């Protein structure tokens, strides 16, 4: 009698997962993940501090207090969301192509994969890139990001030392500008819109070869 139907669309309540409910049921039920998907969209639109629990309540189509059945508080929602982005990014650094081979190839792999992960987990990475530092969770996220940035910078530095990349721009500066460019994608990328095909390839080309004809 019960059946799993999965998410149907994004919108107030629409992202709720119908989990093993009667076929004629009128009640939708959230899981943490489905609630998080709604949450991260609102956080990105209004900012974490600019988002009230009432805003989330409206977006999800459930009462404000119902949210507390799923999570302890607003900050836990933030932690779950940015944690997902961080896990994905650190996962890249653990891939074989990021660990073995010439430094420049590893860097190129990380650049491409970072761009791909950013596109795949856009809402979560977007939120991560916008954290400030007002809460313990935000400070934790910033610390984790610094660790990721450091590891990537070491990779670029090794490629410079091996003579594979230009040495006239300080490696740390180059790293920041390079990843600044990748991260900026969150400010304009919209899945499915024009001009978004081959973004990862464009990033690699611009990064390594520049704009010149």
Binding range to DNA, per CB under 7 A, among 52-60, 89-97, 182-190, 200-208: 52-60
Residues 117-136 close enough to bind a copy of itself by CB under 8 A: 130, 132-134
- Using the structure block, give the residue that is written with the tokens 């004629």: 24
Q: How far apart are CA 41 and CA 59, in angstroms?
A: 9
Using CB under 8 A as the binding rule, whether residue 168 contacts a copy of itself is answered as yes
Residue where the block lists tokens 């660790």 = 147
Using the rule CB under 8 A, which residue among 35, 128, 178, 200 binds a copy of itself? 178
Cα torsion for 183, 132, 50, 115, to the nearest 10°? Answer: 10
- Residue 134 sits in the site that holds DNA (CB under 7 A): no
**Lookup: tokens for 197:** 């095909």
CA distances from 71 to 64, 88, 95, 132 (A): 12, 22, 32, 22
- What's 213's DSSP letter? -
Cβ contact 6:17 at 8 Å: yes
Part in contact with DNA (CB under 7 A); list of ranges 59-67, 81-89, 176-184, 200-208: 59-67
39 burial level (CB within 10 Å; 0-12, 13-18, 19+): buried
Alpha-carbon distance 18 to 210, whole Å? 49
**Secondary structure (3-state) at 11:** coil
Which among a copy of itself, DNA, none contacts residue 185 (Cβ within 5 to 8 A by kind)?
a copy of itself
Q: Which partner, a copy of itself, DNA, none, binds residue 142 by CB below 5 to 8 Å per kind?
A: none
How many chain residues are in contact with a copy of itself, going by CB under 8 A? 46
Closest distance between DNA and the C-beta of residue 140, in Å? Answer: 16
State yes or no: residue 37 binds DNA (CB under 7 A): no
Q: Which stretch binds a copy of itself (CB under 8 A): 4-12, 24-32, 90-98, 177-185?
A: 177-185
Q: Map the footprint of a copy of itself across residues 48-107, applying CB under 8 A.
A: 48-50
Q: Candidates 5, 8, 11, 20: give the one binding DNA (CB under 7 A).
A: 20
| Euclidean distance between CA atoms 99 and 87, whole angstroms | 17
The residue ranges that bind a copy of itself (CB under 8 A) are 45-50, 130, 132-134, 163-170, 172-174, 176-181, 183-185, 187-188, 195-196, 199, 202-203, 205-213
Binding residues (CB under 7 A) for DNA: these are 1-2, 16, 19-22, 25-31, 51-55, 61-66, 68-70, 72-75
């Amino acid at each position: 009698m019960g059946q799993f139907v999965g998410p149907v669309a994004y919108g107030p309540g629409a992202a709720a997962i119908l989990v093993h409910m009667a076929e004629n049921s009128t009640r939708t039920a959230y899981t943490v993940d489905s609630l998080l998907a709604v949450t991260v969209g609102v956080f990105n639109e209004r900012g974490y501090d600019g988002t009230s629990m009432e805003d989330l309540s409206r977006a999800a189509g459930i009462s404000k207090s119902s949210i507390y059945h799923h999570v302890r508080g607003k900050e836990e929602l933030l932690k779950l969301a940015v944690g997902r982005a961080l896990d994905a990014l650190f996962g890249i650094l653990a891939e074989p192509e990021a660990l073995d081979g010439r430094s420049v190839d590893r860097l190129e792999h990380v650049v491409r994969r970072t761009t791909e992960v950013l596109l795949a987990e856009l809402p979560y990475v977007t939120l991560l890139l916008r954290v400030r530092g007002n809460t313990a969770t935000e400070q934790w996220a910033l610390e984790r990001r610094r660790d990721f940035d450091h590891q990537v910078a070491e990779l670029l530095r090794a490629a410079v030392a091996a003579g594979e990349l230009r040495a006239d721009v300080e490696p740390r500066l180059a790293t920041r500008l390079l990843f600044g460019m990748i991260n900026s994608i969150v400010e304009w990328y919209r899945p499915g819109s024009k001009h978004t095909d081959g973004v990862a390839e464009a990033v690699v080309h611009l990064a390594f070869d520049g704009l010149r004809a």
